[in-house]
Each structure stands twice: as C-alpha cells, then as structure tokens.
Chains A and B, each alone.
Chain A
C-alpha cells in the first residue's frame, strides 16, 4: 500500500490551521512576474487560504493554464500541473473525479479562461464540478505582451486593435451563473483580506466555485480599474441582495459588470448555492462513480478486477 487514502481527510471542519509558508517552494523559481503585478496578490491569498483551512501541500493539486497567471503553479508549493493555454479545467476535472480526496484548484488568465478555454468554462460550470477556479482578470493578455483580451473594455486600444476594440467585454460572472456554477465571486488583488476570505469560501464550497480575481497589470494595462479602491458589496448597505437567490444575484452581477467599466469596482460574493449537489455527488447517486476514490483501487491488493472474459458471453 503506497498511497494515503486522502478522502478520509476530506472533511474540512475539524482541521487545524497549517503553516502557510509550507506553500512556498523550497527552491527559488525564476522570477518572471513584473514588480507590482497583481498576480502576487493571488499567490498570497491562496497560500493564506490553504493555511487557514489546514491543508498540507500534498493534498492540493493546482492545475494552471498558460499566461503570466499560469505561472502560479511555479510559485505555489503543492502537486502542480502547468498545462496548456485554456485547458486547465478539463485536466483538473478529471483529476478530481479520479481522486476526490484531492483539493483541486484550477487557475488561469482572462484570455486563458474566458477566451480560448471558454467552452470548458461553460461546461465545467454546468456540470458543477467540485473545485475552485481562479481567473486572474487583468483585462489584457499579459504574457504575449499586451493584446486585447475578452475582458478588455470596448474601445480598448492595443497593437492588435489599433483603432480600439469594437467588442463589448465578456461578462464572466453572469456567464458562470447562467452556466450553472454554484459559487460566484469577484475579488481584487488590491484587497488582500477580502481576497483571502473569498478564496477560503470558494475552496470550502462543494461545487464549482468561480472567483474572478481582478489583478492589475502595470506593464500593459495601466488604464484598468484594477488599481482603484473597490467596494465590498457585503459590507455596504447600498447593495442589498440575496446571494442565495439566482435572480437577485443575476441582476446584481449585471450591474457589477457594467459598473466595472463605468464607475465603481464592486467585489464580493454574488452567488452561493450550498444545496446544489456537486457533479461527483450527482454521479454517485446515478451509480456512475465508485464510492471510494478510483485512484486508490490501483494500490489495493484486494481489489477485484473484472475480466473481459465475463463480457464475452454476449458475443458467443
């Protein structure tokens, strides 16, 4: 037996906080984020959230895409999978299905998640996989040097859109709500405390938790609202809405998405449905996934493996 059955630790409730520094890699990775980059804020909040929740690095699988954002897995100590542009979600989904004992987090940029990976985003939300998805939203393509992204505002000028973009920005919060995500929030790197709290909630949530994380890119996108003070809607009396109510949440998100480009930057938890079963649970109820983590069977000497011989009857 060479494999710890992690699902036994899967109950978060009785965990003691662990040392967040355990999530700092022992080796010095190549520093590739620019000074002042919002991505540092995500890293810090994630380490803090994992430590507070009492996880150890080997219980966590962090799957990232490609982009400055995708480098998160280089700076965060855990099991890591630095995949390809836009594809972090399908990799992460399967790992969670294969071993539900893993705490699975997927992360990538707005180009990665809302552009090239848009199809996976909608379907992962729809299926409500139990995982946390962090999208570093800097309204720009960072790593490829400042092209317009799906979240760039209308009129945004870049080398590839010299006359200004004629496309309205995508509405990521609304999109994941409509898709079927059971937890939707937005937070910002300029507010580390809220960011950490939101990530904690997202990680604890049993279902697809989507966090649109506003990150500033001082190198390519100085105009974005990501730098300005934000309003935490949960802490303001001006924004009363029931975040368990799909319709109210939806209206609120709509306003929030307009406001980002027109005035205020609103953040917080916008939707939370604690009752919707995760995909894994749903599948289990259909008799479609095993009770125990599938990944453990390969390490169990007593597991019984069926043979095709038994299936041959239909062919005789």
Chain B
C-alpha cells in the first residue's frame, strides 16, 4: 500500500556528514508543510563503514519507518580507502550503492556519485535495475562540489539533485542553510546546491516520483525520543545530571549537560556508572531533582545505587537507553532485551516505577511523570527506551512543549511541619514511620539542613528513625509499607488518562500487543490491516511497573487471539504479561525481531495475516506460537 510518500535514503560512510545532511533535509521538509520521520542506521565505528539515514515524508502523519524506500542518494564512502594511498577518495568501494539495493522499492530512483562510485563494479546492477524499474541517475557530485567550492560539500550537491528530481523547491533548504552558516561557507553551499539542481534539471526524467505537498495547522518541531526525555526532565525541574557516556544514553546526557549549567543546574561527568547513579542519589537526598542513566552495561553497574534508593526511599530517576546485548552486544543497534534487567535488577523485591514510552511525546510526558512519582513516592523511577526511539526524529506540534514547569519536590515537610511531626521523646524525626497518615505508604521526608528533620537514611533495614534494625515485626511493617506505595501509584495512574495506547477496530477479534518504541510501527500495520478488512486492534503498553493489570486484561479479554510484538529473542514482554496476569498463555503468540533493526510495518502485517495458518514469520523475524499458562 503505497501513498504519495517519499522515503529518501542517504547513504555513505560514517563521518561523511550523513546525519547532519539528513536532519536538515528533514527539517526543510517539515517547514514546508510535510510530516517527516527519520530512521538511522550506523555501524559501531567513527569513520567509514556503511551508514544511512532514511527520511520518510508524507502529507499525512508518519509514525514509523516505512517498508523499504524509494529514493536512494548514494554518496561515496570517503573513508573506505586508506587515506595514505594516492587518491584519498577511492571508487572501488561501491558499498553505499551496493549495500542499499535490497530494500529499494520497484520504480525507485537511484542517484549515485559517479565521482566516487563505480556502478559497473556491482554485479547484476543493470539487470536488477531493469527488473525493478529503477531509474538510475549517475551524477558527478564530487566533481560539482569541487568545482563550485569544496569537495566535502558533495552532500549539498546530492540534496540539490534530489530536489530537482523530485520537483521540490530549493528555498526551504536555502533558508535552513542561511540559518546555520554564513560567509564563504554559506555562499559555496548555496552555489553548489543551485548548480547541482540545474544539472539534474537538464537530464531527461524517466521516473514519476514527486515530493508530496502538505500544510501544517500549527508550528512544528523536529524531535527525537532523547529530546523528549531531556526536555521532560528540564520541565519537571530536574537540575542535576550525572553520567558516564554510553551509546545511546549519551544523547540525553549530552543534551542535559549542555543546557543545565545555563539554567542554574549542575551536570557531572564522573568516573563510572556506579558513581553516576550514586551522585544522582546524593543530590536528590540533598533536595535537588536529579537524573542519571545509561545503556545496558552501564545500567548493570547502577543496580547498587538503584537498590539503595529503594531502601533509603530516596527519589531517583534513571534512564535506560537499551541496545542489543548481552554484554557490549551491538552498540549502535536497537533491541528491547533489557526489560527484565530494568524490572528486577538489584537485590531484594523491586519497588520501582518503570515506564517505556512509545514515541517522542510520550518520552516527554512519561519522563515528567517518572519525576512526579519518584519525588511523591520516594522511590526510583526508570524510563526505558531504545536505540531506535532515541535517534528517530519526528515532527510534533511545537505547542506540545509549551507547558508550565514543575519544580515541585514532592512529599517533603516544611520546618514548621517538622516541628510538629512525630518525634521520639529524644528529638529524632521519625522519617520512616510505619503507618503514615495518607495510607499510600509514603512517609514524608525532610531535607538535610532543615531544623528538626535529622534522620539516618540507611541501606540496611531500619526502624522509624532510620536506625538499623533486624527486628522481624519492624521488617514486615517496613517492607509492607514500601510495597504499598506501588499499589497507590497504580491507583493514581488508573485515575488518569491511560499510558496504554489502544488503536484499531472497535470490536476486534485479533489483538496485537507491544510495548515501547514499536508503537508507531504497530499502528501503521494495524491501519493497513483494518483497511484490508481485518478485525484487528492493538494495545501499546507503557507502564511496566506497576503493571497496568486492568488495561491489559480488558484488552486481552476483548480479543480471541493476540500477537505480542517485541525486539528480543526470548519474549520478555510476553513473559511479563503472563507473569502479571497469571493467564492468557494460550492466546499469546510472539513475533520477535532481534537482528538489530527495528520492525518494518509489513512484517507485522504478514504475521497477523498468517496467524491462523502455519508459520507467519518473515525473513528477519521469529514466530513463537501460543503455549499454555
């Protein structure tokens, strides 16, 4: 089912400016009224190797990467050859062209830099082009860039050619360039852009792809999942971040490090992730809203301070940006394999909140919610998302982010309240009283420095004053009170608009359930299935702990069978559902993908269509049929 959409893939070597070129192109399209969505693929190396970014553009909202793409701009990989050899740029490496052909749709357009790439080096290229009706335009992008300015501006030449071939005006691109550059650099880029567009205009155009035209009702912003998390944290009053770099958590860490100091906050890059989470804990204890985070391996180190936050009842917000594991795994590839790690890591019973936002807006909102709950209930809250959502850009109404900031510290006592709070005769504040008045298990805290608020926050079990205790009755009372907080949080969440997003037919017989960043892809698949007459609906779950039992039960009771879509090899989310609900094992089927790439919508469509008949998995996915409870 193809609309008038363009899925533009720009390919080349890491370090060749693919990222910034694609971001600007996407932004120009957004500014001129289109809906855009980007998908990034890059290897774990700094320079060279095969990398690409897809920009999907349509006049309708786009929520996910598409099925394949229809416009390839293949730049040379300038790092494919040893720079010491006589020619810095080689042309025997045809990778940016060769590696990208499999997903190119029939009727698609190929522009490649004939200054750097030699199509004749690719076996069968011509035959394949003919078979699939590809329209191939070799252009000497390097030559044009060199003649008009500098060779590195090949990207700009490629964009100029793209615009001409898709009948897309140059103005939005030029405007963006003027915003970003000045002087000679700007001038050279503008000249290259125009020159390249003219060259492409003169060619005979055999394809019929055109950039769609659209219009937005309101001003748009192009944001990633990481942007959503960082801005959510800022708006919720987070002014302290501590971290250690690890892909892809680094994106949030960098953003906050760049903004917080200018907002009167503090950013700390420290020696390791244990320290990072411990610092966030220390700052939070001292009365500042703070955040730390990492990706799988670093999060493993954080399991100590995480448990300490649970026991000392100190608010702590952590971000886990997952990538493919185990261990260092595939650092730049996406996966949802850390679910159980995030839910259960650290010793003892877990008493934490875990959210898995499904898109950029939810990333913002659920980060704010994570702070609210952590500070109101004195426990850790984790936002888990993945490499996919961290880097995907999508347009969102800019107005969406125009919210009031909330620097509220949650349940703390004023000095006046402390003076009247429950005390031992000795003057020690009962920070961990067994039965705090509101019934939600939360014993309000004091902030170090306040008069009459002294207490000991201990990672050992403790009685109400905080002093270490191994008394069995006290232990049970404290444990029950801490666990009671989760029930109260569930109640609070149930009173609000649900974080679980339902989509599709009203009385569907077939369900698709997923969590986190697959949401948009699943929605797109559901729309196609519904259009084709299937009775299908989806539920994308964001609350992982405390688990949204009522929402999920209601959905599963409403369908006859359900496909659980997730990016890991062992079906961890399906396991969580069965564990939490103690049933449904006989209707839950799994569709798993764990090759490092996110789902494409057609994979879900085909899996649903094949549900009743044999093995519905596609080449890169795996199907696990329902078993029993």
Contact = CB atoms under 8 A, between A and B. Distances in A.
Interface string B444-460: 00011111111111111
Interface of B: 31, 219-223, 227, 231-232, 234-235, 237, 239-240, 242, 259, 261, 263-268, 270-272, 274-276, 278-283, 285-290, 304-305, 308, 312, 364, 398, 401-405, 407-409, 412-417, 424-428, 447-460, 465-469
Contact of B221 (A30, A87, A316): A316
Given A79-B448, A91-B278, A120 B271 contact: yes
B448 A305 contact: no
Given A289-B266, A306-B234, A98 B219 contact: no
Interface of A: 2-4, 6, 25-27, 29-30, 57-59, 61, 63, 66, 71, 73-74, 77-84, 87, 89-99, 101-102, 119-120, 122-123, 283, 287-290, 294-295, 297-298, 303, 305-309, 311-312, 315-316
Nearest to A7: B449
Contact of B282 (A71, A94, A305): A94
A110 B522 CA distance: 55
A295 B447 contact: yes
Contacts of B263: 306
B283 A95 contact: yes
A155 B111 CA distance: 72
B456 A90 contact: no
B456 A93 contact: no
Contacts of B275: 87, 89-90, 119-120, 123
A297 B398 contact: no
Nearest to B450: A3
Question: 7 closest Cβ contacts across the A-B interface?
Answer: A26-B426, A2-B414, A94-B282, A308-B231, A90-B278, A91-B282, A82-B458
A95 B449 CA distance: 11
Contacts of B285: 81, 91, 95
B278 A2 contact: no
A84 B308 contact: yes
7 contacts: A80-B456, A81-B458, A87-B278, A95-B283, A98-B240, A305-B405, A307-B402
Q: Which of A30, A97, A102 has the most CB of B within 10 A?
A: A97
Nearest to B219: A316
Contacts of A57: 454
Contact of A27 (B227, B270, B290, B426): B426
Given A58-B450, A94-B240, A297 B465 contact: no
Q: Which of A77, A91, A306 has the most CB of B within 10 A?
A: A91
Nearest to B452: A58
Contacts of B267: 288
B308 A58 contact: no
A128 to B, nearest CB: 14
B179 to A, nearest CB: 10
Contacts of B270: 90, 123
Given A74-B458, A123-B275, A305-B405, 11 more contacts: A3-B447, A58-B454, A82-B468, A87-B305, A97-B266, A98-B290, A99-B448, A290-B266, A294-B265, A307-B401, A308-B401
Contacts of B283: 94-95, 97-98
Given A26-B424, A74-B467, A94-B242, A102 B409 contact: no
A84 B304 contact: yes
A30 B468 contact: yes
Contacts of A61: 286, 448
